[in-house]
Amino acid sequence: MVGPMRLMWTRQEHYHRLKRAAVAAAQMTDVDGLADAVSHTMIPEHHMVDELEREYGHDVAAYVEWVRRQLPPDLRDAFHRGRTSSDLVDTALGLALFRATDIINEALDVAVTHTARYAWTWRGTPMLGRTHGRLAERTTLGRRWAVLAHALWNAGIVPYQFGHLSGPVGADTNGEDETLEALGLIAVPSGQCVPRVYLHNWATQLSVVATTAEAIATEIRLGCQEGIDFYAEGRVGGYRGSSSMPIKHNPTRSERICGLARTVRSHVSAVGESCALWNERDISHSSVERTALIPAVILTHYILVELGEIMSSLVTYDGNVVRGTERMTSAEALAAMTGAGVPHALAYREIQQHGPEVATAFRKIAVERDHYEPENEPKLWEWVEGFYRTTIPVS
């Protein structure tokens, strides 16, 4: 974990979110002074709740008892009356994921910015594109990366904002909308907990982000292959690519992104398998969310931080990138031959069997090569230039 994402998942932060949910639940009662008293309770150190948890066998019940014991005696019985653990947990989860969305999108913005700036830097560098791993037609290095940058930008995550304060079987909705709105959350029709399909829809976005980052990392890995040598990951300080082969400069960070993206997808799949609960409530989803959802959030953020750092220092061997662009491509050869009157089927067959070189004699008759220029796609490059000139800090 890095930066603010590390701090989010401490037990102290969890108790802080539970307290916000508990205050909100107290505000929905008609007991004078209860919400104010709950708001003045101390957030416990985890060891303070551990003994109660061992006694109750229930972590939220232990927290509720901890708070209850801090309240004035005349308010203790009123606290949490008519509420369930889902009121606290689902609301606290909504607060956590709303903040997590911001943190992930901040890292995504940095990664997109670096990728778009890279595209802008190399926008005029010609290269031969590839399909199916084979050389194809003319493009530029910048265009390839502009496409990838735009795909990553499009994967931005919509915040999760759902909470629950409507008690057992979800029927006590009086005041729920207003109370959750004050927390920045939204009430949705629910049973005893928020329907898990809302959570799965949000978590699926993590898969999309991780998979898009994997596509970019794969592009780097392919370009780092021996004999292609378009890129190398920048290194800070010492580096050993192999314990026995000193010359190795492996794209290990990009490889790590690819592996972690698979892990994110597996975690999100588990969350998706936990949507069908029994009637109003069961806890079959709870263990999955604790062990799969939170790691998926953490790993998605880590992937984006890694990707941003890779793109900020990616080494490019442009001499290798432009290699082969002086030759006529198969599409240009076909245009040359058909432009000279050769039937399309015959020209296609000749080029397929003998390569584009068979069209050399027709080159003068062919129209000028249609070199790719950024000006041919103004919308794409206006978007890239916007990110290139962004004020987002990317240090």
Share of the chain above pLDDT 70, in %: 93
- Which one of 47, 132, 244, 395 is the catalytic residue? 132
Q: What is the rounded distance in angstroms from the CA atom of residue 380 to the CA atom of residue 395? A: 25
Residue 327's pLDDT is 84
Res 370 pLDDT > 60: no
Per CATH, the architecture of 85-324+371-395 is what?
Up-down Bundle (1.20)
Confidence of residue 364 (pLDDT cuts 50, 70, 90): low
Nearest Cα residue to 210 out of 144, 297, 150: 297
Is 244 one of the annotated active-site residues of the chain? no
The 10s digit of each residue's pLDDT in 323-356 is 988 888 888 889 888 888 899 999 999 999 998 8
Surface-to-core class of residue 244, CB atoms within 10 Å of its CB (0-12 exposed, 13-18 middle, 19+ buried)? exposed
- Which one of 40, 58, 242, 287 is the catalytic residue? 242
* DSSP secondary structure letters along 184-219: T-EE---SSS--HHHHHHHHHHHHHHHHHHHHHHHH
More confident residue, 307 or 281: 307
Residue 2's pLDDT is 57
Confidence of residue 395 (pLDDT cuts 50, 70, 90): very low
Helical packing angle, 141-154 and 85-121, nearest 10°: 170
Going 101 to 102 to 107 to 111, the CA torsion angle's sign is positive
Residue 394's pLDDT is 47
- Give domain limits for the chain: 1-81, 85-324+371-395, 329-368
Measure Cα distances from 355 to 139, 289, 360 in Å.
20, 56, 10
Fold of 1-81: Fumarase C; Chain B, domain 1 (1.10.275)
The 10s digit of each residue's pLDDT in 46-56 is 788 988 989 98
Quote the DSSP letter at residue 179.
H
Helical H runs in the chain? 3-8, 11-27, 34-39, 46-56, 59-70, 73-76, 85-121, 141-154, 176-182, 196-223, 252-272, 284-288, 294-312, 318-321, 330-339, 344-354, 378-388
Q: How many CA atoms lie within 13 A of 319 on its CB side?
A: 1
Measure Cα distances from 377 to 64, 131, 139, 143, 381 in Å.
60, 21, 12, 9, 6
**CB burial readout 162-183, b (16+ within 10 A) else e:** bbbbbbeebeeeeebeebbeeb
For the residues 116-140, what does the mean pLDDT come to?
91
For the residues 229-251, what does the mean pLDDT come to?
77
For the residues 204-212, what does the mean pLDDT come to?
98
Tokens standing for residue 299: 């790993």
Is 132 one of the annotated active-site residues of the chain? yes
pTM, two decimals, is 0.91
Question: Do 61 and 85 contact (CB within 8 A), yes or no?
Answer: yes
Residue 385's pLDDT is 84
> Nearest 5 degrees, angle CA 194-CA 200-CA 206?
135
